[in-house]
Each structure stands twice: as structure tokens, then as C-alpha cells.
Amino acid sequence: MSSPLAIGAVSAVLRNLLDDGLIEAGNSIGVTVDVSAIAPDTIDLDDAEAPPRLNLFLYQVTPNQGWRNAALPSRSSVTGERLTNAPLALDLHYVLTAYGRTDFQAEILLGYAMHLLHERPVLDREAIRRALDPSPLDVTMLPPAVQALAASDLADQVEQIKITPAVMSSDEMSKLWSAIQSHYRPSATYQASVILIEGTRSGVSPLPVLSRGPRDPVTHREHGVFVNPDLLPAVPTLFEAEPQFSQTGARLGEPVTVTGARLAGSGHSVLLRHRLNEEPFELPPDSVSANGQSMIFTLPDNPAARQALAAGQLSVGLRLLVNGEPGPRETNSIPLILAPAADFAGADLQRTANVVTVELEASPQVRTQQKAVLIIGTTEAVAAPRSNASDPLVFSFDPALPDGEQPARLRVDGADSILIDRTGDRPIFASDQVLEVP
């Protein structure tokens, strides 16, 4: 496969091919012909001393339809690690333009160039190597960009590069030259296909399968594929995490019921992940149903958990050892809202002129990277910046709030503290979610 230098290498090889072949064209018109590979708008058309020119311009790069789905997927859907170096397959689209100062010069140049590309529809590997590494010429004498193209590995890619004429209507040609912002000259379009650019990072290649399932220790026969007579997933899978009383979130110290399939086994460990934690927080479940369709775990409420966990959206996973398997297996992840719990009873409220300041603690600790909002009644305020997660949250309400007792809730990263009490026959505002505004 080629390196990312391959696009420039193709242009360099084509320019070299045209430069060598147009010696005969120069003899026909009696002057030396310049061959370039630059944007048409950079060519000086007002220079009366400029020789005739043939210019190759790469105006478009498109994905190759035949190769674009090769070697996919290139990363594991579970771990995200690289499995293969999927090639970037590209087609290059060129416009070949002839410039002349006298009658018929441009037409002669374009005719020779088109005939040359017609006779050489494939860039063979030897021609590519000669163009990019013109031995015995010292490569260090060439410009740095040309020197770099020698490392493109273009000649070693599995597909040879084919040059085919492309059809472009007068409307498309007009749009192209309008976009280039240059005057039209006799031109022909070509497509170079296919360029395969591949990375060199190491991937993961699985080992061959030795047996389909465990072998019987006596007969040494394969167990075969496990078949379950139902429509449930074949591997341990989590479906939903539900806080108690159908609340919008779970607080520290509260149980969570998880439904799923194939959860029976041993060595269960609940994995709680948060965007601000590099490693998951692990805890054992309280119970797992005998049929493997549900489990219950309680969020710990201790100093370690208040520092390690963070309010907001968690992802819940489960690690377990399935009966009959040699090693533990990890399930999929499902969302769970960890609701913050504000210490409204111990909050410090101060009124200064028209400003009410509220200082309170929250559980779990609100990280400095998290956004905290306090809502009293229908008015909200954002917490002031803090240097440490252990510092109390400070909110300033301006204009001032009306005095008296009002319902309050703390919102951390979009997760609200539990304002509504659903333990009774009808929902009511929780009695402990209030603040007495002075």
C-alpha cells in the first residue's frame, strides 16, 4: 500500500511522463515546452516571453467505489482497538491544459499529450520508480517536496494506476474554470485510479479457532455452538437500570434494579463509569435472580464513594463468570442518572441588599469540571468557580429572591436532585427539598 505521499507522487509521475514525451512536440513547433503541475490561476498569461506550456492540475479527489468498503470495520466495536489498517482508496481527477502564444501551438501540445496518455494507460511500477528516484541523478539536488515523494511506496501498492479519459460537459467545464477563476484554454480531463493509502500502525489479528466450545475431557469432542431456545440475547446483556419508586435518578445509598438476560453465574461485579473517571467504580450486587433476568445493587454512601463517584449520567456494566466459561465476561453498558443530594438543611443563606447568597454542600462531591445550578422556586443561579471539589457550592441570586420557604433543587451536569416524593399514592414535593429564604 502507498503512504499519504501517494497523491503527490501520482502528479509527479504524470508530469515526468509528459515532460519526457513532449520533446517531440517541442521539436514540431520549434520551441521548448514547459510542463508544470500547478493551479491554472497561478500561471502568468501576460508574459510575452513565456514558452508554450502544458499544465496538469488536480482539481478533484473522490473515493473509489470498488475499494471504499474493503477491510471494514477497522476497529473493534467493543474495545475500540485497531484491528486492521483499512486502505483509503481514492480516484484522482486531473485537467490537462495547453497554453500557446501563436496559432495552433496549444492544439499541437494537447494532441501530443493526449496521444501520449492514450499509449500509456497504465503507470507501470518501473516507470513510477524511475520518475520518483531518477538514478543516477542525486536526489538531494531536487526540491524538498520532490525528494519526499520517493518514500511514497506508490510502485509497491497492490493495484496498478490506470489513466482513463473522463467526459466533462460544457456546463461542468464552465463551472470548473469559473471556480479556478482563470481564462479557459484547450483542455482534456483524466482520471487516475486507484490510489491506496494505508496506515502503518499495528493492528490485532485473531488466532485461529481450535474448537467450537469446550472439549469433553474424555471423548475430546467439541461441545459445539450453544443454542438457547428463546429470542433473548445469547450472551449476558443488560436492558435497563431503574431507580427505586421510578425516580428520575438514584442517589447514594439507594438501591437500583437492573433487568437483563443471562446474568446467572458467579463473581458478579457492577461497573460504574463516568466521563470524569478513568477507571470504573466497582461494587458487588446485593442479589442476582436465579433465572438471571435481574439484579439489585445499592449505590454506596460513604466518604470514598462521595469522592470517587460524580453526579450526572453514569454507564452501568456487569462483569461475571458465566457457568462453564474459562474467564470472566463483561456485558454491555446502560445509562443511569446519579442524582445529586444537596444538604439544604445545613445550607447558609445570606441576604445583602438585593442579593441572596446560598452556600451548601452536595453528595457526591461536585467536581470542578462540572456545572452546578441551584434552582429556588423558578429562579436559578450558577455556582461560582471553585479550586477544589471539597469546597462548598456558592450561588448568588440577583435580583433578590422573595423571602419565605420555597422548593429547591440542585442540578449538576443536567441531573437534578430528587424534588418529587413518589413514595405515596400521589407525587408531592419532598419536604426536605426546601430552602428558607431570609
Q: Is 90 exceeded by the pLDDT of residue 138? A: no
Q: Which structural domain range is residue 331 located in?
A: 237-338
d(CA 199, CA 82): 11
Is residue 75 domain-resident?
yes
Residue 193 and residue 161 in contact, taking contact as beta carbons nearer than 8 Å: yes
pLDDT at 56: 94
- Burial environment of residue 122 by CB neighbours within 10 A (0 to 12, 13 to 18, 19 or more): exposed
Listed residues 338, 364, 399: the one ending a domain: 338
Q: Interhelix angle for 105-119 vs 6-21, to 10°?
A: 120
331 and 367 in a common domain: no
Q: Are residues 25 and 131 in the same domain?
A: yes
Q: For residues 85-109, give the mean pLDDT.
A: 88
| 25 pLDDT more than 70 | no
Euclidean distance between CA atoms 279 and 258, whole angstroms: 21
Task: Give the residue from 168, 197, 226 where a domain finishes.
Answer: 197
Q: For residue 353, what pLDDT is reported? A: 82
Shared-domain flag, residues 92 and 192: yes
Give CA–CA dist 362/374, Å, rounded. Answer: 11
Measured distance CA(337)–CA(313) in Å, rounded: 5
383-435 pLDDT tens trace: 999 999 999 999 999 877 888 999 999 999 999 999 999 988 899 999 999 99
Return the sign of the alpha-carbon dihedral for residues 6, 12, 18, 20: negative
Please give the pLDDT value at position 397.
Answer: 92
pLDDT in tens, 309-319: 999 999 999 99
Same domain, 32 and 164: yes
The answer to whether residue 214 sits within a structural domain is no
Confidence label for 16 from pLDDT (cuts 50, 70 and 90): confident
pLDDT at 21: 81
CA dist 419 and 332 (Å) reads 31
Can you give the pLDDT at residue 225?
Answer: 78
- Tell me the percentage of the chain whose pLDDT exceeds 90: 53
Query: In this model, does residue 31 exceed pLDDT 80?
Result: no
Q: How confident is the model at residue 43 (pLDDT cuts 50, 70, 90)?
A: confident
Q: Which of 197, 225, 245 is the last residue of a domain?
A: 197
Residues 106 and 140 in one domain: yes
Query: What CATH number does the domain containing 319 carry?
Result: 2.60.40.10
Same domain, 148 and 172: yes
Q: Are residues 298 and 352 in the same domain?
A: no
Among 23-37, 168-182, 185-199, 386-400, where is mean pLDDT lowest? 23-37
Q: What cell numbers appear for 376 in the block?
A: 429556588
Answer yes or no: do 176 and 76 share one domain: yes
My answer on whether 261 and 327 are in the same domain is yes
Residue 215: inside a domain, yes or no? no
141 pLDDT tier (thresholds 50, 70, 90): low
Check whether residue 19 and residue 106 sit in a common domain: yes
Mean pLDDT for the stretch of residues 47-71:
86
Please state, in angstroms and as integers, the Cα–Cα distance from residue 191 to each residue in 93, 140, 273, following that order.
5, 31, 50
Confidence of residue 77 (pLDDT cuts 50, 70, 90): low
User: Mean pLDDT, the chain, as a whole number?
Assistant: 88
Of 120-124, 226-230, 233-237, 312-316, the range with the highest mean pLDDT is 312-316
- CA 354 vs CA 351, 401, 402: distances in Å: 7, 8, 10
Domain-embedded: residue 228: no
CATH number of the domain to which 398 belongs: 2.60.40
The reply to whether 209 falls in a domain is no
Of residues 265 and 199, more confidently modeled: 265
pLDDT at 234: 87
CA distance to 63, 95, 133, 194, per residue, from 154 (Å)? 17, 21, 12, 11
Residue 72, domain member (yes or no): yes
pLDDT of residue 299: 96
Reported as a single tens digit per residue, the pLDDT across 346-363 is 999 999 888 999 999 999
Asked if the structure places residue 184 within a domain, the reply is yes
> Could you tell me if residue 129 is inside a domain?
yes
Which whole number is the average pLDDT over 197-213? 78
pLDDT of residue 312: 95
pLDDT, position 137: 61
* 302 and 408 together in one domain: no
Whether residues 354 and 377 share a domain: the answer is yes
As for how many domains the chain has, the answer is 3
Mean pLDDT lowest among 93-107, 176-190, 219-233, 322-336: 219-233
